[in-house]
Amino acid sequence: MRRTTLSSLSLVALALGACGPGQVDVSTEVELVNPETGQSAPQALTNLPVQLVPFDRDEFFDELAARVGTPEPQLPESLRIVRDSIARATEVFLQLEIELAPLAAEVEALNREMAEYETTAPMYQVIFRERTAAGRVADAARARRDSAFAVVDGLQQQSNAEMERFRADLTAWENEAFAGYQEALIARMDEAGNDIVTDTTDADGRASFIVPTGEWWVYARFPYTLQHEFYWNVPVEVRRDAPTAILLNAQNAEIRDLF
């Protein structure tokens, strides 16, 4: 695990027992699709950065955004449709890529086996026939894969210019809205009396924190498709008497777009 240290102010508070430490145990579980089987099952999220924030992160960013005279640019519906089409076409392409891999490997294995015999040997002819049949299957799968890639490429070419304009507008807005972000963040942590604390989930999808008692927010994000992510900003009350347990899952996540 990687963990930042508490601020000197937090350490003093803990040492004096003014607030007293409390424990927050975070676990994760979301339904994910296994690309090899196509089946979905609950899975813990390993190596996921998780933050314990001593203030409402969403409220903080809303305050920064409110300083801008124009609203945040939103993805046009026409571009959203194309983006979602690209994501679906990419998923088809990736699945066909997975299906092609063992077929291509079988052809290569038969090629190596065939090279061990003279072309006039009976065994060579047996392997040659197997290799020819396997090659036809692999070539058909490769053609399907290439066709799917052509669909993805065509959709991307169709939307590249418009998407780049949108990203430029969004970047310009963010540069204006979040100018002075670092200074504002430090001021907000000073106001809260605690720093943001960071941990990374272990092999079981768990992270743990020891922090002063009071109100905190658990923040994390996880891209679960090519166009969407789970976003968590979950309030928790930290107490001295017992550890606070929080499960990050689809039910307490906000689904956000990825551009």
Same domain, 109 and 49: no
Clarify whether residues 173 and 81 are in a common domain.
yes
In contact, 134 and 107? CB cutoff 8 Å: yes
Element (H, E) at 132: helix 122-177
- Residue 72 domain-assigned? no
The answer on 159 and 89 residing in a single domain is yes
Note whether residue 64 is domain-resident.
Answer: no
- Here the CATH number for the domain that contains residue 241 is 2.60.40.10
Contact 86, 155 (CB under 8 A): yes
**Which residue, among 97, 33, 57, has the nearest Cα to 226 in the 3D structure?**
33
Whether 226 and 232 have beta carbons less than 8 Å apart is answered as: no
87 shares its domain with 114 = yes
162 and 111, same domain (yes or no): yes
Residue 244 forms part of a structural domain: yes
Task: Based on the fold, state whether residues 41 and 123 are members of the same structural domain.
Answer: no
Do 49 and 87 share a domain, yes or no? no
Quickly tell me which residue has 């928790």 as its tokens.
236
Give the sheet arrangement for strand 244-248, strand by strand: 206-212, 21-28, 244-248
SS3 4: coil
Number of domains in the chain: 2
Q: Could you tell me if 171 and 98 lie in one domain? A: yes
Q: Given 177, 205, 231, which residue is the final one in a domain?
A: 177
CA nearest to 50, candidates 27, 30, 20 = 27
139 and 83, same structural domain? yes
Same domain, 139 and 198: no
Digit-by-digit pLDDT tens for the chain (259 residues) are 433 444 444 444 444 344 568 999 999 999 887 666 667 789 999 999 999 999 999 999 999 998 888 899 998 999 989 988 998 999 899 999 999 999 999 999 999 999 999 999 999 999 999 999 999 999 999 999 999 999 999 999 999 999 999 999 999 999 999 998 999 999 999 999 999 999 999 999 999 999 999 999 999 999 988 788 999 999 999 998 889 999 999 999 999 987 6
Q: Which of 177, 202, 237 is the last residue of a domain?
A: 177
In terms of C-beta density within 10 A (0-12 exposed, 13-18 middle, 19 or more buried), how is residue 124 classed? middle
In a domain, 218, yes or no: yes
- Report yes or no on 188 lying in a domain: no
Domain range for 98 is 77-177
Classify residue 67: in a domain, yes or no: no
Number of Cβ within a 10 Å radius of residue 225: 16
pTM above 0.85, yes or no: no
Residue 1 domain-assigned?
Answer: no
Contact 193, 54 (CB under 8 A): yes
Residue 226 φ then ψ, to 5°? -70, -20
Contact yes or no for 245/25 (Cβ under 8 A): yes
State whether 88 and 159 are in the same domain. yes
The domain boundary residue, chosen from 127, 143, 177: 177
* Domain annotation covers residue 2: no
Task: Using the Cα atoms of residue 135, residue 141, residue 147 and residue 151 in order, give the sign of their dihedral.
Answer: negative
Together in a domain, 84 and 173 = yes
Say how far apart CA 221 and CA 253 lie, in whole Å.
9
